[in-house]
Structure 1
C-alpha cells in the first residue's frame, strides 16, 4: 500500500505566473463551454493553481482512458533498465505458443519499440478486432501486418496491450503490481486500479484510474527527467527517448495530434509533450516553461482544451522566479476556484405525476444497455432510482431535487462493473417529463434520462455528455410490471 503524499502548494505569483492568467484560463473554459472536471498546474515542482468542478473532488480517482498508455510505457522503461527486456526484442519471441502457423516477414520484424511508437505495421487500429477474441495476444498476432514495422503510424491500443502482456510474461507480475514499488510508492501516489482482459492481463492502453494529483506527479517525474526527491528512479535516458519524436503522424492538420509520436507520448506544439486520454484526460509537460498541467474532463473536443492552454497559460509562464502579487486578484482567483461546479439541471421541483410513478416497476424491452427494470421512489428530500440488471443486480441511486445526492452503484460495462461513486439529481420538465442526471464522479460520463409515463407505458430516453457515438439518444420503452 502506498503512503500518499501531497505536492507542495504555492501561489501563482510565487512561481512567476499571474493569478489573472489563471482567471483568464477559467474564463476561456467557461466561454467555450468546456466541461473540465479538474486541473492542476505545477510550476517548478509546486502546485501554482488547482481546481475541481464539484461534485468532483481531489480524492476521487478518474478514468484515464489512453493516458494509461504513458504509464505502460514507463513500466517498459523500468523493465529495460533492469535488464528484463530490450526495446529491440522481437514481439513473437515472447509468445512462441501463440503465433500463427504462417509468420509473415513483417510480423517477424515487429519489436517492442514498434509497439511503443505505434508503428507496428498494421494499416489501422486492430483493437476492436482483437477484443472479439478471449485470447487477445493470439488475436493480435493473427492480424495482418501490412507495412514494415516502424514505417507507418497507426494509433493502436492493442499494441499497448501487448506491452502489458510482455511485461507480465517476463516478470510474472501484473502491470500495476510491477509499477507499485517502482512508481507509485516513490511518488506517494494513491491506490490505483487497472482494468484487465478476459485472461486477467492489464489492458495497458486504457483502464487505469488515478487522481488528478497522481497525474501531476507523473508529469513532474518526466519533467525532472526521472528524478524524484533527489533520487533517479527512472533512467534519464529513458525519459529522453520516450518523449522524443519517433514516428511521423502528420496527416495535414495543424493541431496537436500531428506533431509526431514517441513511446506512448504525443509530441505537442510549443516544444511540449503529453499523455492524453479520450474525453479530455491530459498530462501536459512543458519543459521550456518548467511546468506540468494535469486535466480531467468530460468533453469531445480535446484540441479545444489545448488551444486554451496555449492561448491563456503558456504565454503567462514568465521566466521570472516570482512576480509581485495583486492581493485583490488573488482573492478573486481563490473565490473563483472555490465556486467551480457542475450544476444539477434546474426545472420544476415536483409534479403531480410523481404519485403516478410512485410504486411502479417498469419492465423494459430488450436493449443494448441490458437494463431490465426501472422504478422510482419519491420523498420530500428527493428520490431513489432503482435500476434492475440481471448481471449486476438491482442498483439504487439517490437523486436530489435540483441538487446532487451521492450514492454508490454498479453500471455494467463501465470500469468492469465495479462499484463507483454516482451523483444524482432530478427535476420536472413541464410537469410531465422527469429529467434525471447521473454523474459518475470517477469517470467522464454524465447520463441524462428522460422519463415520460402514459398510463402503464413508459418511454425512457438515455443520452450522455460524451460517447463514442456523439449525440446519440437511446430510446427504450417499458410497461408496468408490478405495483408495490
Structure 2
C-alpha cells in the first residue's frame, strides 16, 4: 500500500516533459541509477525503477543510515535521556575506558559525534572493524585535536551514538526507532546490521525501500509531523539539517557546504541524507520537494550535477535541457553468444577470497553454478547463471532484528566469450554486481572478477585449488 499519494507533474506545478528529460539524463549519464522517486507538495510525481530493480525492495543505504541515527538521538534528547553537551566518556564503565583519559577524549561531547568533529585525524571505522570490542577500541584511540575544531568524516562516531543510545535505553537503535519512527511511517521492512558486540552499527547497514526513503524526505519537509502527530521535534530537524560546522576541507563542491547533525548541506540551499555509491535523499525546502535515488557509482557528484542541470531548472520553472526519455528503463544483462557447455567438473577455491567464492561448476547445458560462503552457519549457497535474460534466485541476505537471515534477491545471466564463461550477478538489495570470467586450462580454473563498486579493489583473480567430479 502506497504511503504517499500519486499525482501528475502538472498538478504539482511541474512539467511532465521536464521530468521525462531528467529521467533521460539519468539514464544516459555515467552513474548507474537503480531507482528514483520525486515527491513534490507531498505527492509522488516521478517514480522509476531500472529493471531488475524494484521500488518496493529493501536497499542497502550505507551512510544514509546516519541521518536515521541522528533522528533517534533527537528523540532521546527530547525525552530527557541525554544532552548534546554530555561527555562521551560519561556513558561508559571503566571496563571499556582507557586507564588514562586524555584531555581531548574527556572534552569530547555528544555534539562532536553528531557533527564529525571528534578530534580524530581520520575516520575511526577501520580501527573499529579490527576488533569486536568496537566501543573499547574507539575510546582507546588517540584524539589528536581538540574536539570541535576539525571536521573529519567519521563513521565510528556514529557507531558511538548508537552505543550510547543502547546504553541509556537497554534497546538497540532499531528497536528504539520502531515504535517512534519506523512503525508510524509504515517502514516495516527496516533491517539494520548489528556488530559482533551486539550494537546496531548506526553509521551504515540500514536497509529500506525507495518509497520509505521518500516518506522520510517528506517527514523532513513537514518538520517531523506525520498524519497530525509530531513524530520528531521540529527543532531537532531544523538544527540537524542546518550548518553546524564548516567542512570546506572536503574535495567536491557539494561536500563543502557545511555539516549538520549527520546531514550534509548542499548547494542551492539543499540538504541531504547521503550514502556511498549514490544513495540519496535530497531535500529542496524552497520548492517543497524531495528526491530519492538508489544507485551504484563511484562518482556521486555526477548524480548531483545531473540534478542541478536537469531537475533544479524544472523546480524553478525554467527551461530544461532536452533529453530523450527511453521508453523502458532497464539495466539489461550483457549480451553475447551462449556459453559452451562444460563437463560438470567442480573447481574449488579457498573461501577467504574477496568474492567469497568457494566452487564453480560448468555443466553441459551451458549453465554455471557458483557456490559462495554463507553469512551464517548453514554452509555455502549456490547461484546458477545461464544464457538469456535475468534469471532470478534467492541467496541468504542480511540478518533481521529477530536474528533470522533474510532472503536476498539475486539476478544472474551468462554468455560465452571464446573459451570463457562470463557470468554477471547482481545482488539487487544492494548496489553490488560482479562479473566473473571463468577459463579452464591444464585441469584448473581461473576466475577473473570485476566488481561494479567497492570500498576496496574492483578487480581480482582466483585460481582453483582442487577439483572433484560431481
TM tier relative to shorter chain:
over 0.9
RMSD after superposition? 2.3
Q: How many Å apart are 1:377 and its aligned residue?
A: 3.7
In structure 1, the residue matched to 2:29 is: 32
In structure 2, the residue matched to 1:113 is: 111
Mapping of 1:176-195 within 5 angstroms? Answer: 176-195=174-193
- 1:457 correspondence with 2:429: no
Partner SS state of residue 187, structure 1: coil
In structure 2, the residue matched to 1:401 is: 387
Q: How many Å apart are 1:307 and its aligned residue?
A: 0.5
* TM-score (normalizing by structure 1): 0.90
Say which of 338, 341, 346 aligns to 2:330. 341
2: distance between equivalents of 1:31 and 1:255?
A: 23
In structure 2, the residue matched to 1:53 is: 50
- 1:362 correspondence with 2:354: no
2: distance between equivalents of 1:393 and 1:318?
A: 55
In structure 2, the residue matched to 1:298 is: 296
Q: How many Å apart are 1:33 and its aligned residue?
A: 2.4
8 Å CA contact 1:392, 1:411 repeated in 2:
no
Say which of 67, 70, 74 aligns to 2:64. 67
**1:301/1:172 Cα in 2 relative to 1: closer, same or farther (>3 Å)?**
same
- 1:389 correspondence with 2:373: yes
**1:169/1:466 Cα in 2 relative to 1: closer, same or farther (>3 Å)?**
same
Say which of 26, 38, 43 aligns to 1:41. 38
Q: How many Å apart are 1:31 and its aligned residue?
A: 2.7
2: distance between equivalents of 1:136 and 1:479?
A: 35
Q: Which piece of structure 1 moves more, 208-217 or 390-399?
A: 390-399
8 Å CA contact 2:281, 2:292 repeated in 1:
yes
8 Å CA contact 2:66, 2:202 repeated in 1:
yes
Mapping of 1:435-474 within 5 angstroms? Answer: 435-469=422-456, 472-474=458-460
8 Å CA contact 2:339, 2:417 repeated in 1:
no
Mapping of 1:168-179 within 5 angstroms? Answer: 168-179=166-177
Partner SS state of residue 65, structure 1: coil
In structure 2, the residue matched to 1:79 is: 76
**1:218/1:411 Cα in 2 relative to 1: closer, same or farther (>3 Å)?**
closer
In structure 2, the residue matched to 1:482 is: 468
8 Å CA contact 1:359, 1:376 repeated in 2:
yes
Q: How many Å apart are 1:462 and its aligned residue?
A: 1.1
2: distance between equivalents of 1:177 and 1:401?
A: 43
In structure 2, the residue matched to 1:131 is: 129
**1:412/1:8 Cα in 2 relative to 1: closer, same or farther (>3 Å)?**
closer
- 1:410 correspondence with 2:396: yes
Say which of 428, 432, 451 aligns to 2:416. 428
Mapping of 1:229-378 within 5 angstroms? Answer: 229-251=227-249, 253=251, 255-318=253-316, 336=327, 339-351=328-340, 354=341, 357-365=342-350, 367-369=352-354, 370-377=356-363
Q: Which piece of structure 1 moves more, 259-268 or 179-188?
A: 179-188
- Cα deviation per residue 1:322-361 (whole Å; 9 max; x = unaligned)? xxxxxxx9xx96x73xx1111101000242xx1xx23111
Q: Which piece of structure 1 moves more, 415-424 or 189-198?
A: 415-424
- Cα deviation per residue 1:89-143 (whole Å; 9 max; x = unaligned)? 1110000322111111111111111100001111111110122111111110111
2: distance between equivalents of 1:411 and 1:293?
A: 27
Q: Which piece of structure 1 moves more, 201-210 or 128-137?
A: 128-137
**1:35/1:428 Cα in 2 relative to 1: closer, same or farther (>3 Å)?**
same
Structure 2: state its 5+ residue gaps: none
Q: How many Å apart are 1:372 and its aligned residue?
A: 2.8
1: distance between equivalents of 2:158 and 2:364?
A: 47
**1:368/1:388 Cα in 2 relative to 1: closer, same or farther (>3 Å)?**
closer
In structure 1, the residue matched to 2:13 is: 16
Q: Which piece of structure 1 moves more, 31-40 or 165-174?
A: 31-40
Q: How many Å apart are 1:14 and its aligned residue?
A: 1.2
8 Å CA contact 2:32, 2:297 repeated in 1:
yes
Q: How many Å apart are 1:26 and its aligned residue?
A: 2.0
8 Å CA contact 2:252, 2:301 repeated in 1:
no
Partner SS state of residue 166, structure 1: helix
Say which of 75, 92, 96 aligns to 1:95. 92
**1:252/1:197 Cα in 2 relative to 1: closer, same or farther (>3 Å)?**
closer
Q: How many residues align?
A: 459
